[in-house]
Chain A
Amino acid sequence: DGGITQSPKYLFRKEGQNVTLSCEQNLNHDAMYWYRQDPGQGLRLIYYSQIVNDFQKGDIAEGYSVSREKKESFPLTVTSAQKNPTAFYLCASNTGIGRDSPLHFGNGTRLTVT
């Protein structure tokens, strides 16, 4: 079955450490996205990539970095510069900017930084 896999489901880190969240898709989608969700709030866009080796900042990119070396993979690194990293992180993909191209989500990674 095609889908998006995020790992791990839960992640705990000490303050000051960088951490990388994995996102892999086998849907053959060109575009991939990272969102962050805080309790009681909607999703906020961190970074997105429309094609391999290219990505753009979203609304809250500070303290995060990404890479898109392969079509299937879009890892997100949460750096020590991110002031409040504890959140629910969601990776998504779609076929691109086409009109009827909804986002498909992975099941998320809950990051706790203490």
Chain B
Amino acid sequence: RKEVEQDPGPFNVPEGATVAFNCTYSNSASQSFFWYRQDCRKEPKLLMSVYSSGNEDGRFTAQLNRASQYISLLIRDSKLSDSATYLCVVRGGTNAGKSTFGDGTTLTVKP
């Protein structure tokens, strides 16, 4: 079983739709959680950190459920420019410095 698992998709949605991605992690001692966005053949870029209380940044909402060991990303009012691969990242536990990436979920927003 992978340490961090994501539904690979692809998710194909129309503009304006709401879409949600989930990510599960196996290490209950994990302490830090992030969502990254990666465009085709580019480096990943930080989208947002994920906090226990949940956090929002414009159209994006991230939530953490420690009891069930999953994090989620909700995108409202999807734009064409949201098309990308979204990577879930988990860090901490026995090796505090190590970040583990999920394989990513691909989103395509269509007109």
Q: Do A and B bind each other?
A: yes
- A interface with B by C-beta (< 8 Å): 31, 33, 35, 40-45, 48, 50, 56, 58, 88, 90, 96-97, 99-108
Partner of B87, one of A43, A45, A100, A106: A43
Q: Hey, which chain B residues are within 8 Å of A56, CB to CB?
A: 97
Name the residue of chain A whose CB is nearest to the CB of B2: A42
Tell me if B44 counts as interface (CB < 8 A to partner A). yes
A40 to chain B: which residues have CB within 8 Å? 103
Chain B residues near A (Cβ < 8 Å): 4, 31-32, 34, 41-46, 49, 87, 89, 92, 96-104
B42 in contact with A107 (CB, 8 Å) = yes
- CB distance A42 to B87 under 8 Å? yes
Would you call the interface of chain B mostly helix, strand, loop, or mixed? strand
Minimum C-beta distance from A99 to chain B (A): 5
B99 touches A103 (CB 8 A): yes
Complex contacts, B101 vs chain A, CB 8 Å: 35, 42-44
Contact between B44 and A105, CB atoms less than 8 A apart: yes
A41 touches B103 (CB 8 A): yes
Please give, as numbers and ranges, the residues of chain B lying within 8 Å of A101 by CB-CB distance: 32
